[in-house]
Amino acid sequence: MIATSTIGRRTFLAGGAGAVVAGGLLEFRSEARAQDATSLPDYAKWKDADALIVHSDKTIETKRGEIGTSIITPKEKLYIRNNVNAPPAAIVANPEDWQVEFKGVREPKTLTVAELKTMGLATVATVLQCSGNGRKYFQDRLTGDQKISGTPWTVGAAGCVLWSGVPLRAVVDTLGGAGDGAKFVTGTGGEEIPAGLDPKDLVVERSVPISNLDNVILAWEMNGKPISLAHGGPLRMIVPGYSGINNVKYVKTVALTEVETDAKIQRSSYRMHAVGEKGAPEQPSIWEQPVKSWITAPLEGAKSGRIQIAGVAFGGMNAVAGVDVSTDGGQTWQKGEFIGPDLGRFAWKVFVLPVELAPGTYSLVSRATDSEGNVQPEEPELNGGGYSHNGWRAPAVEINIV
């Protein structure tokens, strides 16, 4: 917990003067909150506090050493990111009764979760990762008056999770098929928008290309339990392979649309643009996740001798095909070995490399390749939102062997 407040304070001071001038009161408030966040917020009280870094009541990161080697991330350790306040806990009291409106199909209809449960069942393992995971590594590279605002996540805004629910394709087929000209799947989150504020500015509504129709799952179960409020129960739209933001929690409307939603969160947020530029619809949207890996153990020095280096690797839309591991900061590489069951192309894989280390200092890094031959870059180009960091150098683990 001391570490948490230190991170908050450092952010506060580093961004301080600039943030207040540039961002005004709102930004000031969120940084102040990060500063005194020391315990889990009520809706996440059931989480394993020792495994988490609480940046704020809406941004909670998994500690790097807590991911484990069992592939699936336990719900108690999974990160949380809410863009706005979560709905009241009452919505998960009777999950079967939750209603979802389906639009852009031949026979539009509102269905309950109980009805959805009769239409089909599928289970998929996906990497759920915040689009801003690794933002801190971009922020560390800024010079002059450059600024990237947002939570300074390192590697812990990610987990690998099992989702069960109905394939969206089955629902669309039941409702007579897609309407004419449908190009996107658009999901709307069930948060209440406070009166007097423009819903377009706040609604968590995301559009993804309709090419995902056969992958999308409307999930009511996560790792074998009804989805908690924190993770988007009673029902969540899962878009396998896609960045966190596209996985809409407490989904209340699913529409097949001709155009992308003009909600702010789609129109200008989560866009790839240069530092200092504003987000705009013509820029690439943060959709598919790029190939990525990082080391999870060891994170601290040890006695010389045999050591098992371990980590996680995934390919986003593509299966991960291989991972190279280096103990000298990328000068020389060895092949890591994937262990454990293969949970499919959207899951991550755990890798190991046994090494013999003599006393000295080491820089441990990993570099994954996906089935299409895409390789993790050493350093991705800076972008203004600090999105989709997948560089292999920045998350290096520096250790001392004695």
Ligand X SMILES: Nc1nc2c(c(=O)[nH]1)N[C@H]1C(S)=C(S)[C@@H](COP(=O)(O)O)O[C@H]1N2
d(CA 2, CA 350): 30
Q: Rounded distance, CA 398 to CA 355, Å?
A: 15
77 binding partner (options Mo ion, ligand X, none; Cβ < 5 to 8 Å by kind):
none
For position 130 contacting ligand X by CB under 6 A, the verdict is: yes
Q: Which of 67, 71, 105, 130 binds Mo ion (CB under 5 A)?
A: 130
Least distance (Å) between residue 151 CB and Mo ion: 9
Nearer to Mo ion, 244 or 384 (CB): 244
Q: Which of residues 41, 232, 315, 336 is near ligand X by CB under 6 A?
A: 232
Q: Residues 5, 23, 49, 84: which binds ligand X (CB under 6 A)?
A: 84
Number of residues assigned to the chain: 402
Angle, CA of 192, 197 and 203, to the nearest 5°: 45
Pairwise CA distance, residues 289 & 380, whole Å:
13
Nearest approach, Cβ of 151 to ligand X (angstroms)?
10
Contact flag: residue 199 with ligand X (CB under 6 A): no
Q: Which is nearer to ligand X, 179 or 240 (CB)?
A: 240
Q: Which of 19, 148, 204, 297 binds ligand X (CB under 6 A)?
A: 204
Q: Which does 67 bind (CB under 5 to 8 A by kind): ligand X, Mo ion, none?
A: none
Distance CA 138, CA 140 (A): 5
- State the DSSP code for 141: T
Q: How far apart are CA 390 and CA 375, in angstroms?
A: 10
CB 84 to Mo ion: min, Å: 12
Using rule CB under 6 A, residue 247 touches ligand X? yes
- The bridge status of strand 251-257 relative to strand 99-103 is parallel
Cα separation, 30 vs 52, whole angstroms: 19
Amino acid found at 15: G
249, interface contact from ligand X, Mo ion, none, CB < 5-8 Å by kind = ligand X
Q: Which of 244, 290, 316, 385 binds Mo ion (CB under 5 A)?
A: 244
User: Residue 59 interacts with ligand X (CB under 6 A)?
Assistant: no
Task: Give burial (CB, 10 Å; 0-12/13-18/19+) of 189.
Answer: buried
Supply the minimum distance, in Å, between the C-beta of residue 17 and ligand X: 28
| 39: Cα within 13 Å, side-chain hemisphere | 4
The residue behind tokens 């988007």 is 232
> Quick check: 226 binds ligand X (CB under 6 A)?
no
Q: Is 82 in the site for ligand X (CB under 6 A)?
A: yes
| 245 lies in the binding site for ligand X (CB under 6 A) | yes
Residues in touch with ligand X (CB under 6 A):
78-84, 128, 130, 189, 191, 204, 231-232, 244-245, 247-250
